Structure 1
Amino acid sequence: MAITSEATTVWKGTLFEGSGEVGLDSSGLASFPVNWKARSEGVANTTNPEELLAAAHSSCFSMALSLALAQAGNPAESIQTTAAVTFEAGKGVLGSHLLVSARVPGLSEAEFEAFANDAKAGCPISQALAGIPITIEAELA
């Protein structure tokens, strides 16, 4: 069964002086202010498309890794994933770097890295980001 998720942004003004608000329509859990300065200068308390993309990538990857580990009989106690998505004005999104730390009893570091690399390749958001470099650092906690 296919699920469609929705978010809506209302933008007012020009790109550089304007601002908007993005709402998570499907869940209704949150809405966030968004503006150009957050994207180009890293302004606090305002999000940007790349931060939202990083949230999607880190959560999708964690789910993919959790599934793969459990299916192999090595369920994780915990997985922490940070996705760092880099944007440069005039160039666009340059890449996503996954930093992963997990507790997986009975798994060697080499085995874990193999699972992490497979999850990176198989994660639907990684696949959607196929046009940019995706790098990973994975370690057992």
Structure 2
Amino acid sequence: MKFTRQAQAQWKGSGKDGHGQITTASKVLDHTAYSFNTRFEDGEKGTNPEELIGAAHAGCFAMQLSFLLNEADYTATSLDVDASVNFEDGAITKIILNLVGDVPEIDAEQFQQIAHEAKNVCPVSKVLQADIELKVSLKRA
């Protein structure tokens, strides 16, 4: 299977006083606000890159785990995943996935093993080491 998904970000102004919008092709995010305040402070409505990475990671991991459980002849009643994305000194230093699963008839050891495999093969888990291509153009007024 091969596909491409798209999203767009627009930023206006300086890093601290500026603001931006994020839109996904699916329009689930449609001109969703983000700013210095939504990224580094609390209280303002909007999103931030780390929150979006956490949501993507939690969602991808839960789906990957579901597929691996199915391969082992288990079906989860529910897989609840919280992702905490830690940002420190200009870098994402750690992502903590907290999983609570309800999977009938599986033992704890096997669930641990399959969950760790899912973490390792989840595409978003791998993305932080992806080849990133950058295409640049400068718009002149």
Q: How does 1:31-50 map to 2 (within 5 A)?
A: 31=30, 32-50=32-50
Residue in structure 2 matched with residue 122 of structure 1 by the alignment: 121
Higher RCO by CA contacts (8 Å cutoff, separation 6 or greater): 1
Identity of aligned residues (%): 34
Cα offset, 1:40, TM superposition:
1.5
Q: Kindly provide the amino acid, as one letter, of the partner of residue 112 in structure 1.
A: F
The residue aligned with 2:100 is 101
* Counterpart position of 1:14: 14
Alpha-carbon distance between aligned partners in 1 of 2:99 and 2:112, rounded to the nearest angstrom: 10
Task: Give the number of aligned pairs.
Answer: 129
CA shift, 1:77, in A, is 1.1
Which residue identity lines up with residue 68 of structure 2 in the other structure?
A: A
Match of 1:113 in 2: 112
Shift of 1:44: 4.0
Q: How does 1:126-137 map to 2 (within 5 A)?
A: 126-130=125-129
Larger radius of gyration: 2
More strand by share: 1
State the AA in 2 paired with 1:18. Answer: G
> Partners in 1 of 2:123 and 2:57 — Cα distance?
9
Where does structure 1 lack aligned partners over 5 or more consecutive residues?
132-141
Residue in structure 2 matched with residue 30 of structure 1 by the alignment: 29
In the alignment, the residues of structure 2 paired with residue 63 and residue 46 of structure 1 have an alpha-carbon distance, to the nearest angstrom, of 26
Structure 2 regions of 5+ residues with no counterpart? Answer: 131-141
Using the TM superposition, give the Cα deviation of residue 2 of structure 1 relative to its aligned residue in structure 2, in angstroms. 1.5
Deviation at 1:130, TM superposition (A): 4.4
User: Which amino acid is the alignment partner of residue 46 of structure 1?
Assistant: G
| Structure 1 partner of 2:79 | 79
Question: Relative to structure 1, is the Cα distance of residues 30 and 107 closer, same or farther in structure 2, using a 3 angstrom cutoff?
Answer: same
